Amino acid sequence: MVRLVPVLNVLSVVIVIFALAMLLPLLVSIIYGDAARNAYEVAVLVTFASGVVLWIATRAGRAELQPRDGFLLVALVWTVLPAFATVPLLIHASDLSFTDAYFETVAALTTTGSTVLSGLDRLPPSINFWRCELQWLGGMGIIVLAVAILPLLGVGGSQIMRAETPGPMKHTKLTPRITETAKGLWLVYAIMTLACALVFKTVGMTWFDAIVHSFSTLSLGGFSSHDASFGFFNSPAVEAAAVFFMAAAGINFGTHFLAFRKLSFVPYRNDPEAGAYVAVLAVSVLGIAYFLLANHVYPSFWTALRYSAFNVVSIATTTGFATTDFNQWPVFAPVWMLFLCCFATCSGSTGSGIKMIRAELMVRQALRELMSIIHPRAYLPVKLSGQRVENNIIFAVLAFMLIWGGSVIAMTMLLAASGLDIITAFSAVIACICNTGPGLNQVGPAGNYAALNDFQTWVCTVAMLIGRLELFTLFVVATPAFWRK
C-alpha cells in the first residue's frame, strides 16, 4: 500500500527547494531591471509558503519512503512543480491561460522545448531565463538533484531515482553510495554546461544568450530566447559548438562521469550504446546532406551539410532547435529526423524516446528469433558488450515498446478526432512523447503549439510527461492495484 502522507512530506521539501530555484530568475530580473520582478517575488513567496504549509501539515507522518512510494513521489513532483512554475508566467502575461502556461512549463521541465509563446525576443530576460533554467533542472532530473543535495530519501533514494532515470537497466551504481552517484552526475552535467556556455560566448553570443542556450543545449531541451532559435545567430561556429554539445549530451552521463574520473576515452568504447549512437548520427547527417543536395534544396554540399548537421542532430537528440524550417525540405528528411528522435539517444542521457539501448536489444531479440528457427536447439543469448542480457529485461523492453506504441496511437487518434490533420497529430505526439519539440505542418519548426485548442494542449502535456518518465512511472500510479490497501 502506498502511504500518501510521508510522500507529501518529501514533496513539500522539494517544493521549498524549487522556491529557491526561482530566486535565480528574480536575480536576473533585478540585474536587467525588467518588468517581471514583481511576478517572481510573488511566485517565490507563494511556492515557499505552500511548501512550508504542506511540510507542517504532514510532519507528523514522516517516515522512510518505500520503493513503491517513490513512483508516487516522482509522479507528484513532475506534475505539481510545473504548476508552481506557471505562477510567474501567469502574473506577467495576464492573457495567458493556465492550460497554455502549464503546457509551457511542462515542456520546459520535460526538456521538450515546444512553446505556445511567440515574440520571445520581446519577453523580459528573466522569463526566458526561467524557461531555460527549468529545462536544465528537468534535464538531469529533479529527484536526482534532491538526492544529491538532501539526504532525505535515505536508502530508498536509489529506487526512487530509478523511477526518474531513463533506460531499461538501472542497477549499476557508479559509486557505492547513491548520494555520491547523484552528486557525480550533477557535477559532470554542471561542468559540461559551464564549458558549453564558455564556448558559446567565445564564438560570439552575449553572456545572457550563452548561458540560457547552454541550459537548453545540455538538457536537450530546445527553448531559445529568440523566435528564430539558433537561426538568429546565423553563424557556423555557433552551430558547430551546439552540434558538439548536443551530441555529447545524448550520451549516458554515467559514461561521461567515468570518463571524467579516469580521464580516458575507454568508458566510451565500453559503452554499449555510444558507438551505435554516434554511427547513427553520422550516417544520418551525411545521408540527409546528400539527399538535400540531390533534391537541389541547397546549392553546395557544404551548405547542405551545415543545415543537415545542425537540424538532424538537434531533432535526433530530442533537442528541438532549428536553423531553418525543415518542414519545407522534401518529406523524407523531416520524417527520418522524427524517426531518429524516437530511439537515437542513449539511456542515462538527458534525451528521451525509446533509447538506443532498447532499440539494440529489440534488433538482437529479432535476430535471435530468426536464428532459433534455423537452430531450434541452440542457446542464443542476447548480449550487450559481451554481457548476457536476462530475459526479464527483454520482456520489460518488449512491454515498454508495446505500451509506447499503444500510447502513440491512442494519443494520435485523440488529436485527430479533435480536428487536427493526421500529419500534425502524429508528429505532435511523437515530438511530445520523445520530448523533442517541433513536429511537422502546424506544429513544425516555423509554427508552434499555440494554435492547438485546450483539449489538444492537454493531450500533448500528458504525452510529454509520460515520455519523460518513460511510461511506467506514471502508468503504475494510475493502476488501481497501486492504491489497493
Residues forming the site for another protein (CB under 8 A): 375-381, 383, 386-388
Give residue 449's Cα distance to chain centre: 18
Residues 6+ apart with CB under 8 A from 19: 44, 47, 48, 51, 84
For another protein, the closer CB: 151 or 386: 386
CB of 275 to another protein, least distance (A): 16
CB of 380 to another protein, least distance (A): 7
CB of 82 to another protein, least distance (A): 44
CB of 365 to another protein, least distance (A): 15
For another protein, the closer CB: 377 or 485: 377
The set of cell numbers assigned to 413 is 487518434
**Whole-angstrom distance, CA of residue 285 vs CA of residue 102:** 34
Spatial contact of 338 and 431, defined as CB atoms under 8 Å apart: yes
The set of cell numbers assigned to 213 is 542556450
CB of 154 to another protein, least distance (A): 35
The set of cell numbers assigned to 18 is 524549487
Q: Residue 193: helix, strand or coil by DSSP?
A: helix
For another protein, the closer CB: 154 or 381: 381
Strand bridging mode 382-384 / 387-389: antiparallel
Report the amino acid identity of residue 186. Answer: W
CB of 270 to another protein, least distance (A): 16
For another protein, the closer CB: 263 or 378: 378
CB of 366 to another protein, least distance (A): 18
CB of 378 to another protein, least distance (A): 5
For another protein, the closer CB: 381 or 405: 381
**Whole-angstrom distance, CA of residue 38 vs CA of residue 26:** 9
Residues 6+ apart with CB under 8 A from 427: 338, 439, 440, 441, 443, 444
**Whole-angstrom distance, CA of residue 134 vs CA of residue 82:** 9
Which residues on neighbouring strands pair with residue 389, listed in sequence order? Answer: 382
**Whole-angstrom distance, CA of residue 313 vs CA of residue 453:** 30
Report the amino acid identity of residue 175. Answer: T
For another protein, the closer CB: 371 or 422: 371
Task: Count Cβ atoms within 10 A of the Cβ of residue 307 and give its class: 0-12 exposed, 13-18 middle, 19 or more buried.
Answer: buried
For another protein, the closer CB: 25 or 272: 272
Residues 6+ apart with CB under 8 A from 135: 108, 109, 111, 113, 215, 216, 219, 221, 222, 223
For another protein, the closer CB: 59 or 269: 269
Find the helix packing angle between 157-164 and 178-202, rounded to 10°: 40
Question: Measuring CA to CA, which residue among 108, 72, 377, 354 is closest to residue 216?
Answer: 108
Output the CA–CA distances (angstroms, integers) from residue 428 to 85, 318, 425, 449, in the order listed. 23, 13, 5, 9
CB of 389 to another protein, least distance (A): 10
The set of cell numbers assigned to 373 is 528457427
For another protein, the closer CB: 171 or 375: 375
Q: Please report, in angstroms and rounded to a whole number, the separation of the first and last CA atoms in the chain.
A: 5
CB of 394 to another protein, least distance (A): 14
For another protein, the closer CB: 384 or 401: 384
CB of 387 to another protein, least distance (A): 8
Report the amino acid identity of residue 232. Answer: F
Q: Residue 468: helix, strand or coil by DSSP?
A: helix
For another protein, the closer CB: 119 or 386: 386
